[in-house]
């Protein structure tokens, strides 16, 4: 009887811990992380400057860009951007706009309204849910929480992109993104 009572207490503690983790996850996703970020220019062939350098450095670090970082958007940058877009489920147009900046781990600027901020958080939650579903399909609840924790820990780690999309779309970081199963309905 004492063994059953201890097992019951441990099970209740585990459920409370898991519930606390879910609440912490939701609070984390609700925080407006991007407020105050500086705006990024839309980049296309012929663009020059520090934003081009930033994109080239990130693409080079992730294995997409093979040239020298010269801060000039030319053929090699275009090829790297389109490859990155193709592999990460983005519109393949060679233009580094808000969606591509976000996938690179940079936000294009602060939301102009509370509704825009809420939409961004909703998009982050949806993306996180899709990755968790695709990566941990058939796993117990704890396994699903672990996948979400990996993503959120990477967002906070300076060695990784500082957005959920940036972490998720990092080259070959998640098999479900590489093989496209993340885009199936959760």
- What residue spans define the domains of the chain? 2-30+111-183
pLDDT for the residue numbered 94 = 95
Specify the CATH architecture of the domain 2-30+111-183: Orthogonal Bundle (1.10)
One digit per residue, the tens of pLDDT, for the chain of length 186 reads: 556 666 566 566 566 666 556 656 655 555 444 433 356 789 999 999 889 999 999 999 889 999 999 999 999 999 999 999 998 888 999 999 988 988 888 765 444 444 444 445 777 888 888 889 889 888 888 888 889 889 988 888 888 888 888 888 888 889 888 888 887 765
pTM of the model: 0.45
pLDDT for the residue numbered 113 = 42
Tokens of residue 98, six digits: 């808000």
């Amino acid at each position: 009887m004492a063994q059953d009572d201890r097992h019951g207490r441990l099970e209740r503690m585990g459920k409370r811990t898991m519930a606390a983790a879910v609440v912490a996850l939701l609070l984390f996703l609700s925080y407006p992380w991007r407020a105050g970020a500086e705006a990024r220019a839309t980049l296309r062939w012929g663009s020059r400057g520090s934003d081009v350098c930033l994109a080239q450095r990130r693409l080079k670090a992730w294995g997409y860009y093979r040239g020298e970082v010269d801060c000039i958007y030319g053929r090699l940058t275009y090829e790297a951007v389109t490859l990155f877009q193709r592999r990460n489920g983005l519109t393949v147009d060679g233009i580094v706009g808000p969606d591509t900046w976000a996938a690179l781990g940079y936000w294009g600027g602060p939301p102009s309204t509370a509704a825009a901020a809420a939409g961004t958080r909703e998009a982050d939650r949806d993306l996180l849910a899709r990755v968790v579903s695709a990566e941990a399909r058939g796993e117990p609840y704890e396994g699903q929480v672990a996948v979400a924790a990996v993503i959120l820990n990477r967002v906070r780690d300076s060695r990784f992109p500082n957005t959920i999309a940036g972490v998720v779309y990092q080259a070959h970081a998640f098999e479900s993104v590489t093989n496209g199963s993340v885009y199936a309905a959760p």
